[in-house]
Amino acid sequence: MTAQRDITVGELGEKALLARILDALAGSSQAEIGPGDDAAVIAAPGGRVVVSTDTLVHGPDFRLAWSSGFDLGWKSAAVNLADIAAMGARPVALFVALALPDDTTAGFVDDLALGLRRACEALSPDCAVEGGDLTASDTLTIAVTALGVIDPDLRPVLRSGARPGDVVAVAGELGAAARGVGMLFDRFRDASGRPIAVDRGILTDAEEVDLDTQLRPRPPIAAGIAAARAGATAMMDVSDGLLLDATRLADASRATVRLAPTPESGLDDDALRGGEDHALLACFAPDAELPDGFRVIGRIDPRGAAAVTIDGVAVTGHLGWDPHRDWDAGRG
């Protein structure tokens, strides 16, 4: 494959491109019927499936100067796996609709397929890419739909089930991805604001961790299933910032989320307002035993004037991540 990495998808044609992608994914399918027919067939032993879809678009969602094909494959898998985990479900299949400009290199697509595969293997080994679609487009677009199954003895965990007195907890990173994207905008653009390649040599180890969290997030997929098993009353993926997503959970549950930052909780401004870490925010009955990976960050109050408070004080200002505002300057 290496010899042809620079050939473009326009030159290669759809059939040969598909063959390369299937080659990169070979042996990973765990479905009854995987890629190749009109549709895939996925087992759903509990009699129901959980489905979510999330798209990465060149421009609003990523820049090619900053993200490799591998990064984009990884991230598009990870963000969708997180949505499934946030329901307390076990991811089982990804479907990937790729829309590619003709000048995309085959090597980029190989890397993207590998990133999808490696993210599944690392984050959710029972899940693989089981189908997809290839189209030509002027704009590189990766639309992923994820399927999960709920263990037969469990129910899906919604945003709307939090009750006053519940403990509020979080699993996974908060703030690192926001520091990572801040670093990209602050330090890896040219004088006219255009993205330039990242020079990792000038980054500290901690900065590299932040950058990697932005480019290849590692949502705590197993923690979602563990939370469902521990009786979580409500759960959601923190994709747009803790304050904004906690507001959504509070509104859906008609309650107030009272955050209680402590020196240990790490709830600094990045953690409160930064997006894209794909941590899991969950609520548990006061007497529940928290599963591994979760740390307490507050509790549920009866609904007050504010959806979210910090130690009882209403939160104001910019709550979180808005991709339309925060990413739209400077395409590249």
Annotated binding site for ATP: 132-133, 159, 239
Biggest CA-to-CA distance, the chain: 63
Question: How far is it, in rounded angstroms, from Cα 243 to Cα 249?
Answer: 10
Q: For its own copies, which stretch binds (CB under 8 A), given 79-87, 169-177, 282-290, 296-304? A: 79-87
Instruction: Tell which one of 136, 285, 313, 314 touches its own copies (CB under 8 A).
Output: 136
Site size with its own copies, rule: CB under 8 A: 66
Exposure string of 175-209, with b = 16+ CB inside 10 Å and e = fewer, is bbbbbbbebbbeebbeeeeebeebeeeeeeeeeee
**Binding mask of the shown chain, residues 153 to 182, with x at each position contacting its own copies by CB under 8 A:** ---x-xxx----------------------
Q: How many CB atoms lie within 10 A of CB 43?
A: 12
Using alpha carbons, select from 88, 25, 24, 93 the residue that is nearest to residue 53: 93
Question: How far is it, in rounded angstroms, from Cα 51 to Cα 94?
Answer: 10
Residues 96-115 that bind its own copies (CB under 8 A): 96-97, 99
CB-side neighbour CA atoms (13 Å) of 222: 10
Instruction: Tell which one of 164, 261, 266, 323 touches its own copies (CB under 8 A).
Output: 323
Q: For its own copies, which stretch binds (CB under 8 A), given 46-54, 106-114, 191-199, 302-310? A: 46-54
* Rounded least distance, CB 164 to its own copies, Å: 21
Q: Answer for the pair 137, 10: CB distance below 8 angstroms, yes or no.
A: no
Q: What are the beta bridge partners of residue 134?
A: 98
Q: For its own copies, which stretch binds (CB under 8 A), given 48-56, 195-203, 215-223, 293-301? A: 48-56
Q: Which one, 69 or 219, has the nearer CB to its own copies? A: 219
Chain residues binding its own copies by CB under 8 A are 13-14, 32-33, 36-45, 47-61, 83-84, 86-87, 89, 93, 95-97, 99, 130-133, 135-139, 141, 143, 145-148, 150, 156, 158-160, 235-237, 252, 323-324, 328
